[in-house]
Amino acid sequence: LGISGKLGTGGNRLKGGGAGIEIVVRGAGQGAQRLASVDPALPEPLAEGDRLRLGFRAGANTHLVVVSLDESGVVTAVEPVSGKSRTVQATQATELLDDSLELTGHGLERLIVVLSQDELSVDEVMRAARARYDEARGNLLQLGQLDVPGEQFHRTFRKP
């Protein structure tokens, strides 16, 4: 998982009330872009060099944690990389990570976005992701919701 950037403000792409996420897949270089599948059981295929741009709408939530989980069970903190959840503004406006993500390696990887009204420990979210991985016997397509407070959004990607 290649990660760079910090939290920023972006355009209003998500519509309606409540929390939500949108992930745009951009091809290598100046390649075409598309929205990632919203069904975590249907992995979005990625090509070499594709980058992901994560947008979220916090709704009434004020805390954010994003982790990734690959099919070998490795959990990586995406945002923030350690400590406590990032404080975000409870708003209907869309926030974006300033930079995009590139998922490295091969096989499946799941991004999990947790938006909560409670402050969360990044380690707690990572442990919860690993526990669900173990319960699913390593099958990312069968991964359930994490045992942490807040709204969760899962997206699965198939790396080249």
Is pLDDT above 60 for 14?
Answer: no
Sorting pLDDT into bands at 50, 70 and 90, what band is 2? Answer: very low
Residues 146, 133: Cα–Cα separation, whole Å: 10
What integer pLDDT is reported at residue 104 of this predicted model? Answer: 93
Average pLDDT over residues 8-23: 59
Contact yes or no for 55/26 (Cβ under 8 A): no
- Domains contained in the chain, number: 1
Domain CATH number, residue 103 = 2.70.50
pTM for the model: 0.87
Residue 119 belongs to domain spanning: 2-159
The pLDDT of residue 98 is 74
